[in-house]
Chain A
């Protein structure tokens, strides 16, 4: 009971909303299956199942509290970084440096937990950035040095630094957002970003013909991108008064920014997959592929959303 009273009613309402959306999506799949039983819906069914798991886990930790969320997101960073390091070619001489790169995760999320913004924002871009090449030097292997140093740091920047911005939303003071506190901001960001991915998929499947960047991602269509942008701007406009302190004009801008940034994050990870000649980054999430396939948009949307809202409202 104490838990329920502690949770802001708006946040609870949004959680129930997500639950209802999943129920509707599940029913649509069941109806589709009934209408045309000869078609293969295995991938779609797997995707929905995984969405239930992911949304369930996310909402659960969000409602439990800040510490649970920080642990959850540090674990997500760890899995994403591990997937990235498993994908890229690494040299044996990189092993100890990779160990230190992983070690940046507990530190970065610790800064979040104590709300030390100054350290949070410079730790990886400065200290880790300067330390990793030094550790690489100690391995005394110069062939492929620049490639390793760049790739390892790129991994830490994206999977740890960028993704950790999501949870720093929780460390922002609740008082600045009377509509649901800081947890509502995180829910708003994740909902818009993942919604954008889903909307691109749905609009693209239904009406998409012309591809935007066929050399990088065969699934991205112009209709998918534009349709998703309009939908997300609308979502942002409707949800912002419920979950955020954003003004009307800011909510429209944020909708557009999240939609575009999410798209860019998606194709950046696609370009890496193309470069490495893999289709999926892994098989961790049934129907979706790997963790990277799921967090690719968040890599871009999280820091941009965070700094927008921090600049204007905190």
Chain B
């Protein structure tokens, strides 16, 4: 409920008026289970991706986020879990027997829609970094779950890592074709990488480094 209210009254109007999105490409999944994968440059990425979903679906959409950062103190932790509804995962494997993605698998079993940033961290503004393998493992385990790549451009200019004041910029959101997992993880990651490159070409992101 609090998540719906936050998106209806704060996030959606803020993104509509202050940021302004140029949306291109296909449709987002209308039901779970599904996985949205996107490039990551800003805290706004998560909010923007969530706001693309209708309010009806929004409680089903769960961003995967690093536990060490988003559960670091009481306030951030409350906001991350209650308002955004993250699925916290641990970045350092303390117990090698435990799969760090276990909580994500459970969410997929509950027919939820996951948001995952396979670059891991936000990195430098508007610079892409190599994709991590986790998404490959998840896709291999759930071969029938659609994986939708989304390319975001401009949010890293609006609110880059290390800055706290968002500046208005129009941002591009390009939604790609849904794809499915492969047994060969490396090949899957390579394909996803080239998907992102072709989505990026549809935006003004000419200066991007790969």
Contacts and interface: CB of A to CB of B under 8 A. Distances in A.
Interface of A: 78-79, 82-83, 85-87, 89-90, 92, 95-96, 98-99, 102, 276-278, 282-284
Given A82-B169, A86-B169, A92 B125 contact: yes
Nearest to A81: B168
Interface in B151-192: 154, 157, 160, 163, 165, 167-171
Contacts of A82: 20, 168-170
Interface residues of B, number: 17
B19 to A, nearest CB: 9
A95 B125 CA distance: 12
Given A79-B20, A99-B165, A278-B204, A86 B160 contact: no
B74 interface: no
**For chain A, what secondary structure do more than half of its interface residues adopt (helix, strand, loop), or is it mixed?**
helix
A87 B204 contact: yes
B93 to A, nearest CB: 34
A95 B206 contact: no
Nearest to A283: B22
Contacts, number: 39
A275 B135 CA distance: 39
Interface in B194-210: 204, 206-207
Contacts of B163: 95
Interface of B: 20, 22, 24, 125, 154, 157, 160, 163, 165, 167-171, 204, 206-207
24 contacts: A78-B168, A79-B20, A82-B20, A82-B169, A83-B170, A85-B168, A86-B154, A86-B157, A86-B169, A86-B170, A86-B171, A92-B125, A95-B160, A95-B163, A95-B165, A95-B167, A98-B167, A99-B165, A102-B167, A276-B204, A282-B22, A282-B170, A283-B24, A284-B22
Contacts of B125: 92
Contacts of A90: 157
B154 to A, nearest CB: 6
A85 B20 CA distance: 13
A276 B165 CA distance: 27
A282 B24 CA distance: 12
A78 B169 CA distance: 11
A95 B206 CA distance: 20
B117 to A, nearest CB: 21
A313 B160 CA distance: 51
A85 B169 contact: yes
Nearest to A75: B17
A99 B207 CA distance: 23
Given A83-B170, A95-B160, A284-B170, 6 more contacts: A82-B20, A86-B169, A90-B157, A96-B165, A276-B204, A283-B24
A85 B167 CA distance: 10
Nearest to B156: A92
A276 B125 CA distance: 20
Nearest to A90: B157
Nearest to B19: A82
B115 to A, nearest CB: 24
Nearest to A99: B167
Nearest to B21: A283
B171 to A, nearest CB: 8
A92 B158 CA distance: 10
B157 to A, nearest CB: 7
